[in-house]
């Protein structure tokens, strides 16, 4: 006998449980809306939880310095106050819109029937760019993320990359690891200048115009534990000790099924107007996934976009409602 399809009914569907999605969920509850929150990852927090739980986040208003995990913890507590239906570990697959609402189909067969939707899917599904020389070493000394620092204590760590993640991890691992070497193929870096200056002023050895040629165990082979890494620096070979390598080379992003929904997109981002409306009726977007003139991709910006999207969605859901509901600090 076939299993009956599960149908979840709500006022607002939120697709993406990162910071913007969590705040959108809270704000929907603040507006008195019922919410279903969908994410392909098995836990709340999006990329921050999956990749940067120990990263110090410096550009969220009211927090001079907050770890990713602590920020997510607060956002989750706030979002859960809306009593959302959590649909985690499931990918949004299909979308159908009509005059009365929309139906979002998930990859497990669940159908979410909502009156409006906010897409807060960040960069979509992401996979790390590979380090060719590290073939066969993934999970044996080579990782793509640093979710915790303690496992690297007293190790020689090599970080490959020149972006924000590479430099952030270098800063955090420097007081824990025996040594930290940051390797980049160019002299110029993509990371924030303040972080670059902090690394350059530290004990981290920065090696530029360099590529990773090989990884070896203590006997010069590939079957034992990782012991050293061979670089080619300005055409010359150089060997550095390494019991751990972090390949921070960025990610390949994929919007997946969202690209088939008929949304107007630009360079893998969803185009929105000043109300955070997309090209589809009843569908809004917020956070890193959005694109409009002057867009700045910061968590702080995503919070504002989430509130804008939910407030405008509230009017679509109930035409008698007002876009601005009043301040949350006002009494009833």
Binding-site positions for FAD read 20, 39, 47, 52, 92, 126, 288, 329
SS3 139: coil
In sequence order, what are the beta bridge partners of 212?
231
Q: What is the enclosing helix (H) or strand (E) of 227? A: strand 226-233
Sequence-distant (6+) residues with CB within 8 A of 179 are 156, 157, 203, 205, 241
Sequence-distant (6+) residues with CB within 8 A of 4 are none
Return phi, psi of residue 209, to 5°. 50, 45
Sequence-distant (6+) residues with CB within 8 A of 253 are 123, 124, 125, 126, 268
Residue ranges for the known binding site are: 20, 39, 47, 52, 92, 126, 288, 329
Q: How far apart (Å, rounded) are the C-alpha atoms in residues 138 and 131? A: 10
- Residue 105: is it exposed, middle or buried by C-beta count within 10 angstroms (0-12/13-18/19+)? middle
What is the SS3 assignment for 69-135? HHHHHHHHHHHHCCCCEEEECCCEEEEEECCCCEEEEECCCCEEEEEEEEECCCCCEEEECCCHHHC
Half-sphere exposure at residue 125, Cβ-oriented, CA atoms within 13 angstroms: 14
């Amino acid at each position: 006998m076939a299993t009956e399809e599960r149908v979840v009914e709500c006022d607002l569907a939120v697709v993406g449980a990162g910071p913007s999605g969590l705040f959108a969920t809270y704000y929907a509850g603040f507006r008195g809306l019922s919410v279903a929150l969908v994410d392909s990852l098995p836990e709340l927090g999006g990329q921050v939880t999956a990749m940067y739980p120990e990263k110090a986040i410096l550009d969220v208003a009211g927090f001079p310095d907050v770890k990713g995990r602590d920020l997510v913890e607060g956002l989750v507590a706030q979002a859960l106050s809306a009593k959302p239906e959590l649909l985690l570990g499931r990918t949004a697959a299909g979308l159908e819109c009509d005059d009365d609402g929309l139906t979002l189909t998930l990859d497990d067969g669940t159908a979410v029937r909502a009156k409006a939707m906010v897409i807060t899917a960040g960069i979509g599904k992401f996979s790390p760019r590979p380090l060719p020389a590290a073939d066969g070493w993934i999970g044996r000394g080579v990782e793509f993320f640093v979710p915790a620092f303690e496992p690297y204590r007293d190790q020689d760590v090599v970080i490959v990359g020149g972006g924000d993640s590479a430099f952030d991890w270098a800063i955090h691992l420097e007081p824990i690891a025996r040594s930290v070497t940051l390797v980049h193929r160019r002299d110029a870096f993509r990371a924030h200048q303040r972080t670059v200056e902090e690394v350059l002023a530290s004990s981290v050895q920065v090696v530029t115009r360099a590529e990773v040629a090989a990884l070896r165990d203590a006997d010069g082979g590939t079957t034992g534990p990782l012991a050293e890494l061979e670089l080619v620096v300005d055409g010359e070979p150089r060997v550095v000790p390494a019991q751990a390598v972090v390949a921070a080379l960025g990610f390949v992003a994929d919007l997946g099924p969202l690209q088939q929904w008929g949304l107007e997109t630009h360079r893998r981002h969803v185009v929105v107007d000043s109300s955070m409306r997309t090209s589809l009726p009843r569908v809004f977007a917020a956070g890193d996934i959005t694109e409009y003139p002057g867009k700045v991709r910061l968590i702080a910006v995503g919070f504002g976009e989430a509130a804008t999207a939910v407030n405008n969605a509230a009017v679509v859901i109930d035409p008698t409602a007002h876009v601005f509901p009043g301040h949350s600090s006002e009494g009833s």
